[in-house]
Amino acid sequence: MVTEPQRILVIDDEPQIRRFLRISLVSQGFVVHEAQSGGEGLSLALEELPDLVLLDLGLPDMDGQEVLNRLRARSQVPVIVVSVRGQETEKVRALDRGANDYVTKPFGIQELLARIRALLRHRDESPLSLEGGCYRRGGLVIDLGARRLWHHATAVHLTPKEYAVLERLCRHAGRVVTQTQLLREVWGPSHVEDSHYLRIVISKLRHKLGDDPGAPALLQTEAGIGYRLLVERDDSAAMDNDTENFS
């Protein structure tokens, strides 16, 4: 069965960056569309319906954050911000506004390609509900439907707050979820500044999941921004019925 090549829209005002990305992406089998301004990029996004967008923030006609706002009002296409702006505030703003990932220039093309492939793998998965979804990595198995967790075949007990944080990270597996989003959704809008609550829960989760905080393989910290859970969806995993529920 022949499948159509995936299309990537590059929105960047620097010709040399666009050329570098075009050559690299075409060599991997992607079809590339290019825009040198925010307005042109928004038009192409609606006309070409790309599978993923690479978005610079420093555009000549409008700020990339505004492009992201307008794009998100019409589409849920995966967006990776690729920008020279490395400040945490810029990263948090972009992720809170709907960017799926953020890469700072200068960047390694292999890392960028890996992030593109990861997002495209998840692109066709529908958002999970509380009733379904099984994820695994190594000896870890998370069953959202049954609200159960195993680590090397041993049931792990989580508190309600620990489960709530893990569940939200799991629903965005592979993506950065900002501290603000986690605090708002788990503790409520009045606690968005109480980041110490979240740090305590993440520390306890790492301990229970056997994740080394010095070299985490499951719960990655994006300093000053949020957290990323590295697990994969596995709908075929079989669960034992004698495992305890979360409480």
Residue 196 one-letter amino acid: H
How many residues are present in the chain?
247
Give CA–CA dist 246/234, Å, rounded. 20
Residue 170 phi, psi dihedral angles, 5° rounding: -65, -40
Strands 52-55 and 79-83: parallel
So what's the pLDDT on residue 77?
86
CB 148 within 8 A of CB 162: no
So what's the pLDDT on residue 232?
62
Give CA–CA dist 56/63, Å, rounded. 9
So what's the pLDDT on residue 79?
93
H or E stretch including 168?
helix 160-171
DSSP 245: P
So what's the pLDDT on residue 89?
85
CB 34 within 8 A of CB 8: no
So what's the pLDDT on residue 65?
93
pLDDT in single tens digits along all 247 residues of the chain = 446 789 999 999 999 999 999 999 999 999 999 999 999 999 999 888 899 999 999 999 999 999 999 998 888 788 999 999 888 888 888 988 888 899 999 889 999 999 898 888 776 544 433 335 677 777 788 887 777 888 888 888 888 888 889 988 887 877 888 888 899 888 887 888 888 999 999 999 998 888 888 888 888 888 888 898 886 665 444 334 333 333 3
Assigned token pair, 173: 């597996």
